[in-house]
Amino acid sequence: MEQQQKKNTLLYWVLFLISAGAFVLAVASHFEYLTLILPFVCTFFVKALDIM
């Protein structure tokens, strides 16, 4: 049987936290293009959980 090697997801966790922080800052400052940040938040979270 083949064993799957655990991937290092630290980079994706850091990128997720940065993008989530940017999202919170954008909400607080009423940033006009708030929805442009959402794909980064969602993608980095999924990659950090190793779902994709």
How do residues 5-21 score in pLDDT, each as one tens digit? 777 889 999 999 999 99
For residue 10, give every residue at least 6 positions away whose Cβ sits within 8 Å of its Cβ, in sequence order, or none: none
33 is a domain residue: yes
Of residues 46 and 6, more confidently modeled: 46
pLDDT at 2: 64
In a domain, 2, yes or no: no
Q: Would residue 5 count as lying in a domain?
A: no
43 closest CA partner among 21, 13, 22: 13
Domain that holds residue 29: 10-48
Domain count, the chain: 1
Residue 3 inside a domain? The answer is no
What's the average model confidence in pLDDT over 33-44? 94
Q: Does 38 reside within a domain?
A: yes
